[in-house]
């Protein structure tokens, strides 16, 4: 190979946040995408990637606050290009390894190698975390966007991920083999690695479909984000800052282990809540995030199916919501996990979903708020019963508000990591479209 060829190859392999070598070296997409479908049994949001050599399709649950992509390597992981990260390597440092050592099985395999480094991998659906995630590299491909339609496949040949054991996939959807993490401040999160590989901004946007039959979409990279009739949903976004935490507590059996590194979860400031324009009386201390103990405040999590409120916040929201409904609307016995339910006979429908009191989550400024309409505040549980689609926190400690997947459905939510902000679109029903009205999948 000539010296000029070596120089050209070197230029194609570059370092930003991480160092990767892209398989399609002449292809530089600006935006990539993942199709996302809601699993009807678990209410998890499931996507698909292609990994390994030869490529294998993998179903993964979306974990907004996850540090990285992890997969089950115990069952049938076969690849010619799998490379475990060796102790003290660049890959170990980027993935913020917590341990290093040997595998004590009779023979090595993906997920069990000598002189390999390990990291935390977690499954929020079973409230479990393991320190046995072997850090590794392998080929990974997803599709790009060309205008308003799918473009060529984008491949990263040395994508950093973690191997896990089969038992960590409990409570995931059928045939789901792991989770894909989009956490902030993680050098090996899904969006950060692709942004580094293809040299675009660290930004992604989630649009979850309310249908279990039609796909929503996750955009990775630059806007526009086109939906039906060439509508660019990025034009309607209102922004609020991302709050970052310096550390968090990881629970590992049988002890508590403090991990001194930046949290990958997404926190925002919700200053107050209004229902039909009336501000609720809430404990302001609860709404403020205690950064030392990670209590109070507001977190966003796709792994939570419905928004969770601390007890006093739930009571205030429920009471005000009921008071703003027409008198003929009657409450009925609760249906788990919900506490406030209604006879749907006298609740009509509009293009914004159920006719319901408007809820505003007021963010860092009084004039910056995220509007929740009936499509995201009420959920049908039986033919005659609908319920307030919020649940009361069942733990003594935690966030005052955890915004869940149901409230994000048919809203575009953009996570602009480069600028430290999150954008909310309000319901796409206002624009007579929805998250499944796209041509990307």
DSSP-based three-state secondary structure for 431: helix
Residue 347: other Cβ atoms inside 10 A: 17
Sheet holding 359-362, edge to edge: 278-279, 272-275, 359-362, 369-372
118 falls in which pLDDT band (50, 70, 90)?
A: very high
Separation of alpha carbons 291 and 351, rounded Å: 40
Structural tokens at position 91 = 């890959």
Residue 88: other Cβ atoms inside 10 A: 12
Residue 193: other Cβ atoms inside 10 A: 27
Residue 258's pLDDT is: 60
2 falls in which pLDDT band (50, 70, 90)?
A: very low
Which residues make Cβ contacts (< 8 Å) with residue 281, sequence separation at least 6? 316
Tens digit of each residue's pLDDT (9 = 90 or more) over 288-322:
998 777 789 999 999 999 999 999 999 999 999 99
Residue 271's pLDDT is: 97
Residue 422's pLDDT is: 98
| Nearest partner of 336 among 405, 396, 409, 387, judged by Cα | 387
| Nearest partner of 227 among 30, 38, 35, 433, judged by Cα | 433
| Nearest partner of 154 among 146, 162, 166, 144, judged by Cα | 144
CA angle 216, 438, 61 (to 5 degrees): 20
Which residues make Cβ contacts (< 8 Å) with residue 322, sequence separation at least 6? 331, 340
Q: Of 71-80, 95-104, 309-318, 407-416, give the lowest mean pLDDT range.
A: 95-104
Q: Of 218-227, 292-301, 345-354, 383-392, give the lowest mean pLDDT range.
A: 292-301
Residue 15's pLDDT is: 32
**pLDDT average, residue stretch 377-406:** 95
Residue 8's pLDDT is: 34
Q: What is the pTM of this model?
A: 0.91
CA distances from 435 to 208, 215, 421 (A): 6, 8, 21
Looking at the structure, give the CATH architecture of the domain made up of residues 31-227.
Beta Barrel (2.40)
The alpha carbon of 376 is separated from its chain's Cα centroid by a whole number of angstroms, namely: 18
107 falls in which pLDDT band (50, 70, 90)?
A: confident
Separation of alpha carbons 11 and 6, rounded Å: 9
Residue 12's pLDDT is: 32
Residue 10's pLDDT is: 31
Query: Quick one: what percent of the chain has pLDDT higher than 90?
Result: 79
**pLDDT average, residue stretch 253-258:** 50
275 φ/ψ angles, rounded to the nearest 5 degrees:
-125, 120
Separation of alpha carbons 435 and 82, rounded Å: 35
CA distances from 269 to 38, 272, 281, 364 (A): 27, 9, 17, 6
Name which residue leads in pLDDT, 58 or 396: 58
- The tally of CA atoms less than 13 A away on the side-chain side of residue 128 is 16
CATH annotation of 238-431: 2.40.70.10
Tens digit of each residue's pLDDT (9 = 90 or more) over 41-77:
999 999 999 999 999 999 999 999 999 999 999 999 9
Name which residue leads in pLDDT, 26 or 159: 159
Start-end of CATH 2.40.70.10 domains in the chain: 31-227, 238-431
Do the beta carbons of residue 179 and residue 2 sit within 8 Å? no
CA distances from 428 to 44, 62, 90, 351, 373 (A): 21, 21, 43, 10, 11
Q: Of 24-33, 166-175, 232-241, 428-437, give the lowest mean pLDDT range.
A: 24-33
22 falls in which pLDDT band (50, 70, 90)?
A: very low
Separation of alpha carbons 49 and 59, rounded Å: 7
b (16+ CB within 10 A) / e for 362-374: bbeeeeebbbbbb
b (16+ CB within 10 A) / e for 45-70: bbbbbbbbeeeeebbbbbbbbbbbbb
- Is a pLDDT exceeding 50 seen at residue 4? no
| Nearest partner of 207 among 243, 234, 178, judged by Cα | 234
- Is a pLDDT exceeding 90 seen at residue 153? yes
Helix spans in 217-301 (H): 284-287
Structural tokens at position 426 = 């309000």
Q: Dump the DSSP string for 206-236.
A: EE--S-SSS-EEEEEESPP-EEGGGEEGGGG
Residue 370's pLDDT is: 97
**pLDDT average, residue stretch 217-229:** 92
pLDDT, averaged across the chain: 89
For the purposes of burial, counting CB atoms within 10 Å of the CB of 229, is it exposed (0-12), middle (13-18) or buried (19 or more)? exposed
Residue 259's pLDDT is: 64
Instruction: Give the position of tokens 């984000």.
Output: 225
């Amino acid at each position: 190979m000539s010296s000029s060829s070596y120089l050209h190859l070197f230029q194609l392999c570059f370092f930003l946040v991480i160092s990767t070598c892209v398989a399609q070296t002449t292809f530089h997409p600006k935006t990539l995408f993942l199709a996302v479908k809601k699993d009807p049994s678990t209410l998890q949001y499931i996507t698909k990637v292609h990994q390994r050599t030869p490529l294998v399709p993998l179903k993964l649950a979306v974990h907004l606050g996850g540090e990285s992509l992890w997969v089950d390597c115990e069952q049938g992981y076969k690849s010619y290009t799998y490379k475990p990260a060796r102790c003290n390597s660049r890959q170990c440092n980027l993935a913020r390894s917590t341990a290093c050592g040997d595998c004590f099985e009779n023979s090595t395999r993906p997920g069990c190698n000598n002189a390999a480094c390990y990291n935390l991998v977690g499954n929020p659906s079973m409230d479990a975390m393991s320190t046995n995630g072997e850090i590794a590299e392998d080929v990974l491909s997803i599709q790009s966007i060309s205008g308003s339609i799918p473009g060529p496949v984008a491949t990263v040949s040395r994508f950093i991920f973690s191997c896990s054991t089969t038992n960590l996939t409990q409570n995931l959807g059928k045939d789901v083999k792991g989770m894909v993490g989009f956490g902030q401040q993680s050098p090996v999160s899904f969006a950060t690695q692709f942004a580094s590989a293809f040299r675009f901004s660290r930004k992604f946007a989630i649009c979850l479909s309310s249908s279990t039959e039609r796909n929503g979409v996750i955009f990775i990279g630059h806007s526009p984000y086109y939906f039906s009739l060439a509508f660019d949903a990025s034009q309607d976004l209102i922004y609020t800052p991302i709050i970052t935490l310096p550390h968090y507590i990881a629970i590992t059996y049988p002890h508590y282990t403090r991990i001194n590194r930046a949290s990958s979860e997404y926190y925002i400031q919700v200053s107050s809540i209004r229902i039909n324009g009336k501000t609720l009386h809430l404990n302001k201390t609860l709404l403020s995030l205690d950064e030392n103990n990670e209590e109070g405040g507001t977190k966003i999590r796709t792994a939570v199916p419905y928004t969770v409120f601390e007890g006093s916040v739930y009571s205030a929201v429920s009471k005000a919501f009921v008071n703003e409904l027409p008198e003929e609307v009657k409450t009925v016995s609760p249906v788990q996990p919900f506490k406030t339910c209604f006879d749907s006979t006298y609740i009509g429908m509009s293009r914004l979903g159920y006719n319901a009191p408007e809820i505003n989550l007021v963010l860092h400024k009084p004039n910056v708020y995220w509007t929740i309409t009936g499509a995201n505040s009420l959920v049908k549980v039986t033919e005659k019963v609908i319920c307030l689609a919020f649940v009361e926190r069942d733990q003594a400690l935690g966030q005052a508000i955890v915004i869940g997947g149901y409230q994000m459905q048919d809203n575009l939510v953009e996570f602009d990591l480069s600028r430290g902000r999150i954008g909310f679109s309000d319901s796409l029903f206002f624009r007579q479209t929805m998250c499944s009205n796209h041509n990307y999948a």
